[in-house]
Structure 1
C-alpha cells in the first residue's frame, strides 16, 4: 500500500485515532491478520488503510459503530470520521440519472476507438466504446493479450492518444507493439519511420502490477493524475489480466474479498465514465458444472463490466472467434472470426 500519511492528506478525518478505534473493537478483524496487505505498521501500531475502512463499513452495522464512538472522549470526531467514510462510498457510485440524461451522456463526448482488427471493429460497430468497461474472456493462448497489444498500438497511432497498460504477468511486449505500428506505417525512409515509432511508443506507458492492493494504489494515483491531465489525453486503459489480481483475494467464505473486487470494478467504471476512457480488461476461464468452462471471478463480478466478450481459438491454429456475451447496444451471441499472426 502507499504510505498511510499520503492517504490521510485526502481524508484527514480518517486519522490514526479513528483507525485505532475501529481496530480496538475488532470491527475490521478480517484485515488484522498478520501479514495482511490491506494494513500497515505505523509508529509500532497496526493501522488499517482508508480503503479497508470503506469496504468494511459496507458490511457492518453503522448504528453499533456510532454507539461505540459515543463512549469515547473524541466521539464527535469519530462520528465525523464515520460520515467521511460514508461520503467516500457515495462518491464511488454514479448519481441517479433519468432516461434523457443517460441518452445525452451516451451521445456526448463518447467516441468509439478502433481495435486495429477490422473483424472485431465490425462486430462491435466500430470498436471499443469510451465510457465502457469492456471485459475480454478466454482460455489461455486464445489471443487475449494479442488483442490488447494491437488495440494499444492502434489507439496510440490512429488517435495519438495515451494508453496505460497494466501488466500483471509479464505479458507486455514492446517488440509486438512496434510490429503492429510498423505494419500500418506508410512508405517512408528508415529514419522517418524510427522517429514515428519513438513518438508513438512514448504514448504507451506500461505499469507492472502483481497484486490487488498495488492495483488499487495505481488506480487511485491515475484518478488524481486525470484531474489535471493536459496535452496527450489518456484514451485507453488495459489490465491484462484483472482475474490474476482478484482471484487471490477471493479465498475463504468471508465477503471481504468480494467487497474489494466490486469496489475495484466500480472504480474502473467511474474512471471510464468521468474521463471518457475505454477500459479493457482480460479474464481467464475456469471449470464449471459438467466440465463446461465459464469466466472466472464468479457471479458477483459478471454484472460489473458494460461489455463482455468471449474469445476462442482453433486448436493449433491462428483462427480466432469473438462472440458477444453482453453488450448494452447489441444482441448476445453475435460473433466474428478473424486471423491472428
Structure 2
C-alpha cells in the first residue's frame, strides 16, 4: 500500500479532498473514520463525486492482496531464517513441533475464561526472559505486570530482581481499544522496524483481535471488512518480513445448532497460518487442539498446566 496518488483510478478532486482531511496514503484512509469523511463530503457541491470516490477506494482495497509466491520461493522462505519460539509449555511446544513459528500468525481461539490471556502472559514472559522484545497489544485492559512477574519467577526458578526487571523491560505493552488505534501503532511499528538498525521484535501479541474487529463489522458499510483484512495482511507482512512470531486471540460465538465457533467469520478464517482451540476442564488442566496447521493434522491435541 502507498500514496493515493499512486492509484490511477482515483480522481484528482477526491485526492485533494482527502488531503484536506490529512489523508495522503492508503494507510491514512484506513485509520480514518469513513463515516465522518462521507458527512464532510455531503456538505460540498460535488458531494456525489466525492462519495463515489470513497466507494471506489473501498472497492480497490477490498480486492487488495499479497503478491503470490511460487513453490521454490516458499520452500526457501521456510528453510531460511524462520525459527520456533518456545511457549513455555513443554507439551504445547511438542504439539507444534517447536512452538510458535517466526513468520507465522498463530490464532488462539476459545470461549470466555478458557485461559487465552493467561497463555499470552506465559508466552510473553518466556520469550521476554530468554529471547528478547515482545510487543503486547491489550484490548481489554487486562495486562498484569504482577502476573508476568509471577510467571517469570516460576519459569526461571528465581526471584532475582535483575531477571524480573529485564523480563518486564522487554515487554512493550500498548492499550488499544479500537481497530484504528491498532492500525496506527502497527504502521508505526512497521516504520520503526524498517528504519532502526538492530531494532528487533521476536513476538507480537494481540489480545484480543476479535474485540477490536467485531464492533466495525456488520451493516452495509464495507469498511469493517476492509479494515479486518488489512489488519490481517499487515500482521502477516510484519511476521514475514521481520521474522516475528505473531499470536492473536479470538473469542467464540454460537453457530449452527448452538455449537461454538471462532468469531469473525470466513473472511478472517483464512488470515492465520495456524489456528488453535483452547479449552479448560475445570481441573486446572488446559487442552489445546489444532484446528488448522500447514503440516500438522487437524484434531491433534495436547494437555498442559497453566502455572
Deviation at 1:58, TM superposition (A): 4.8
Tell me what 1:276 maps to.
243
In structure 2, what is the equivalent of residue 18 of structure 1? 14
2:120 counterpart of 1:151? no
Local SS of the residue matching 1:234: coil
Change (3 A) 1:227 1:22: closer
Q: 1:163-182 counterparts in 2 under 5 A?
A: 163-182=134-153
* Residue number in structure 1 paired with 2:210: 243
State the Cα deviation string for residues 168-206 of structure 1 (Å, max 9, x = none): 00121111111111112255xx6xx10221122111000
For residue 222 of structure 1, what is the aligned residue in structure 2? 189
Aligned counterpart, 2:25: none
Q: Is structure 2 residue 168 aligned with structure 1 residue 201?
A: yes
Q: Matches of 1:271 and 1:56 in 2, distance apart?
A: 27
- Are 2:130 and 1:134 aligned? no
For 1:12 and 1:295, the matched residues in 2 are separated by 35
Contact conserved, 1:56 with 1:256, CA < 8 A, in 2? no
What is the distance in 2 between the residues matched to 1:307 and 1:141?
A: 21
Segments of 4+ in structure 1 off by > 6 A?
44-47
Cα distance in structure 2, aligned partners of 1:170 and 1:211: 12
Aligned twin of 2:277: 310
**How far off is 1:254 after superposition?**
3.6
Corresponding residue for residue 59 of structure 2: 59
Task: Name the structure 2 match of 1:289.
Answer: 256
Q: Secondary structure at the match of 1:152?
A: helix
Change in Cα spacing, 1:146 to 1:290, as seen in structure 2 (3 Å) is same
Which ranges in structure 2 are unaligned for 5 or more consecutive residues?
20-31, 45-52
Decide whether the 8 Å contact of 1:38 with 1:213 is kept in 2: no
Decide whether aligned partners of structure 1 residues 153 and 230 sit closer, same or farther in structure 2, where only a CA change above 3 A counts.
farther
Counterpart check, 1:327 vs 2:264: no
**Structure 1, residues 126-173: CA drift from partner, whole Å, max 9, x if none?**
1000000110000011010011010001011121x1100000001211
1:309–1:324 CA contact under 8 A, matched in 2: yes
Structure with bigger RCO (C-alpha 8 Å, 6+ apart): 2
Q: Across the two proteins, how many residue pairs are aligned to each other?
A: 280
TM-score w.r.t. the length of structure 1 is 0.75
Q: Which runs of 5+ in 1 are unaligned?
A: 1-9, 24-35, 48-52, 61-84
Identify if the C-alpha distance between structure 1 residues 226 and 22 changes in structure 2 by more than 3 Å, giving closer, same or farther: closer
Q: CA RMSD in A?
A: 2.9
CA distance in 1, matches of 2:155, 2:73: 39
The residue number in structure 1 matching 2:229 is 262
SS where residue 276 of structure 2 aligns? strand
Question: Quick one: which of 88, 95, 101 aligns to 1:116?
Answer: 88
* 3-state SS of paired residue (1:184): helix
Kept in 1, the 8 Å contact 2:129–2:166? The answer is no
Distance 1:250 1:12, change over 3 A: closer
TM-score by length of 2: 0.83
Deviation at 1:300, TM superposition (A): 1.0
Distance 2:133 2:114 in 1: 26
Query: Which SS does the other structure have where 1:166 is aligned?
Result: strand
Query: Counterpart of 2:266 in 1: which secondary structure?
Result: helix
Alpha-carbon distance in 2 for matches of 1:297, 1:104: 32
Alpha-carbon separation, structure 1, partners of 2:198 and 2:294: 31
